[in-house]
Amino acid sequence: MKNLLVTGGCGFIGANFIRYLLFDSNFSGRVINVDKLTYAGNPENLEGIEEKYTGRYYFVKGDICDAETMGGVFKKYEIDTICHFAAESHVDRSILKPDTFIKTNIEGTFNLLELARFHKDRVVLFHHVSTDEVFGSLGQDGYFTEETPYDPSSPYSASKAASDHLVRAYSRTYGLPITISNCSNNYGPYQFPEKLIPLMLLNALDGKPLPVYGDGKNVRDWLYVKDHCKAVWVIMKKGKRGQTYNIGGNCEMYNIDVVNKLCDVLDAIKPSESGGSRRDLITFVKDRPGHDLRYAMDFSKLENELGWRPDESFETGIEKTIKWYIDNKGWVERVKSGEYLKWIDQQYE
């Protein structure tokens, strides 16, 4: 692994992964970050990296669906390893505009696989980052394993399921060295404020309503983003080629309990001006179509074979997350206002 392509590296998880690679891992090669810089891709997530790691970090503004651009990247940087994060990832947006998800998540993945196949003489790994949502909904008991049949409920999860199948097929048909990871819900620094935890956190700081779908009894398994990054790197280094690994946080919680916990920790760290509890801001709203009841991941394969476990509990992770958002008001305001999008237009017009 000398020239590692990270797709979607300016997004939430991708940026944290690049930071982990350069700051905390034993990786000594080059990182080439390709990002289309849509609304959720923010170069500020990697501010200062290019200057600090001159000769080891490169950024290319590009679309993974653009075969010519991506072909140029593979050739210029002699890509030998791919870690594929780039995806449209918000379920609500996929319900309103599914075509974008089909194009990016399926056609974009296909394009990268074709390039990896063309350069198969030097490609040592194509790692595909996926989601637990491909498995559909669990009942009150049980866990998703690597053998759980796919049963996606939304256009988003269906598009990710399709891309998983493509990656697996390229391994079996063309002998492409691949690994796949299916991960539970992430949270932490740099997450775009359309997702549950940053949305609730920023609304709570502003004294705005905290909209919770249905009765708040949908269950998710929560994982601090740095733990996810560590797991991906362990899989890339030690995982058996052709295999899939589940990544979970061992942290099942009702959505309403997540919001309540967030309110309580925030009240302790930064009390509201009124002195009241931010739980009073919670408002229950109509549930979204096809809302899966419960996700829970069995990551025993990853633990037993590769020795990974999450380091952060929800209590430690949510406190770090809240403090990061409070300490990075400038980032928050630019993201909320869309100012960073204007900066992107000026830099890359």
For tokens 């959720």, name the residue: 40
The overall longest dimension of the chain from CA atoms, in Å, is 64
Which listed residue (58, 143, 156, 224) is catalytic?
156
Nearest Cα residue to 113 out of 150, 156, 82, 157: 82
Which listed residue (35, 63, 88, 132) is catalytic?
132
What are the start-end ranges of the H helices in 119-254?
A: 155-174, 196-206, 225-238
Catalytic-residue membership of 164: no
* Partners of 227 in the β-ladder: none
Catalytic-residue membership of 133: yes
Catalytic-residue membership of 132: yes
Which listed residue (35, 44, 88, 133) is catalytic?
133
CB environment 92-118: b (16+ within 10 A), e (fewer): ebbeeebeebbebbbbbbbbbbebbee
CA–CA gap between residue 30 and residue 77 (Å, rounded): 9
CA–CA gap between residue 154 and residue 245 (Å, rounded): 22
Q: Could you tell me whether strands 81-84 and 210-213 are parallel, antiparallel, or unpaired per DSSP bridges? A: unpaired
Hey, which residues are catalytic here? 132-133, 156
